[in-house]
Chains A and B, each alone.
Chain A
């Protein structure tokens, strides 16, 4: 009778492949998908304008989503788009501050805090907070660092989402696209692009009906880096991602071979009886 592969053997193989992925690079051509292309085009179309960065990411996602966020922030900065950051996670403000520091937004792109970008404090309440956050003066008394918003130059002529050019929603909760559509697009009809990790199914109903484009995970992130010419963390993940996919498919095939071999032997034994 065919035997199942012991978990220890599986774990060992995964570990070995994991090590190989760390030290090897498999050059793989990248084909850019339409949602990524649309995502990039939306940023270019908003060149010189103002974008809202509505985010729920936190330090836990620094490896899985951080590289994509950095690529998009770099592209925004390269297109001289001013950014209003609205975090909907308690760690959000510090997290985005770290991302911006990592890409050296002030040193490399000449951005100035308060003039070209601003970080708002955490707003609790999910959908209610999204609705509230569309009106900056009503939602916030100060920015994350305690400066009254009346003293922030970027927010002088920008009162609500009606005054901005692009909405970028960074989310990992797959129920959030519904809320973004309800509170952002339905009310303000502004171009909206989504950055996520594993929620493309939840975005599907709204593609072309509010959502212009999206990036889902490091694979599409790599396509974006390639398209925007900002090579970084996502492109470095291409080899591990390829090996991971291959490994899963190999194990699924092995599992099915064992399953059918077991059934076949069982049936033969029954016939003999």
Chain B
């Protein structure tokens, strides 16, 4: 019975959805197909919202558990308290004043915005140290990585573009020749792979993740 719930039912549902959406994409003039596809996408949006709510619930429960089960462990305890505290404050403000209110905007700008900008600023220190430690001419792959990376970095550094105009030409040549070719190849390969998986799903030959997560 569980096999029906965890695998066959989702597969059957997935197959129907895929067929309807493919028909809607390639033959939108078919009768009723537009309305059915529209209803499906509407439900997908609703499900996505509920999935978000579910994720919030899990985070909330996890952090409450952290506070109660590990009161002695400072880092864990403080992380839990910070999460719950900020969640309650933000939630109360957003619910009481509305998401478009000046208070909500101030909270987002002066707390979320400032904290994330600070983290971004701090990450600069780690990026530079990482570049210093890892960009070593150790082998052919590293040499290629460094040549590509430094050329692109020079293009992104206005002063260096001014001092060495050729660096920009070189970077754009790498982008137009290698990057475009490789990413186009990867995109086409990915698309073909996705198509194969979809076809296998439709004929019930692809297990995917269905059933695995539930168990």
Contact = CB atoms under 8 A, between A and B. Distances in A.
Interface of A: 5, 7, 10-11, 14, 18, 26, 28-31, 33, 58-64, 90-91, 93-95, 97-98, 123-126, 128-129, 131-132, 135, 138-139, 144-145, 178, 200-202, 204-205, 207, 217, 219, 222, 238, 241-242, 244-249, 251-252, 254-256, 259-260
B157 A246 contact: yes
Q: Is the interface of B mostly helix, strand, loop or mixed?
A: helix
A59 B113 contact: yes
A28 B159 contact: yes
Contacts of A238: 158
B141 interface: no
B137 A14 contact: no
A259 B136 contact: yes
A205 B128 contact: no
B125 to A, nearest CB: 5
A202 B183 contact: yes
B112 interface: yes
A94 B150 contact: no
A256 B157 contact: no
Interface in B23-65: 38, 41-42, 44-45, 47-49, 52
Contact of A10 (B99, B132, B165, B175): B132
A139 B42 CA distance: 7
Interface string B131-167: 1110111100000001000100110111111100100
Given A7-B129, A252-B150, 7 more contacts: A14-B125, A59-B116, A60-B117, A93-B100, A125-B41, A132-B45, A204-B179
B191 to A, nearest CB: 9
A128 B45 CA distance: 7
Given A59-B108, A125-B45, A249 B113 contact: no
A251 B153 CA distance: 13
B154 A245 contact: yes
Nearest to A95: B108
Contacts of B150: 249, 252
Contacts of B45: 123-125, 128-129, 132, 139
20 contacts: A10-B128, A11-B125, A31-B165, A62-B109, A64-B117, A91-B112, A94-B105, A97-B100, A124-B45, A125-B44, A125-B48, A131-B41, A178-B187, A200-B175, A202-B183, A242-B158, A249-B150, A251-B129, A255-B132, A256-B136
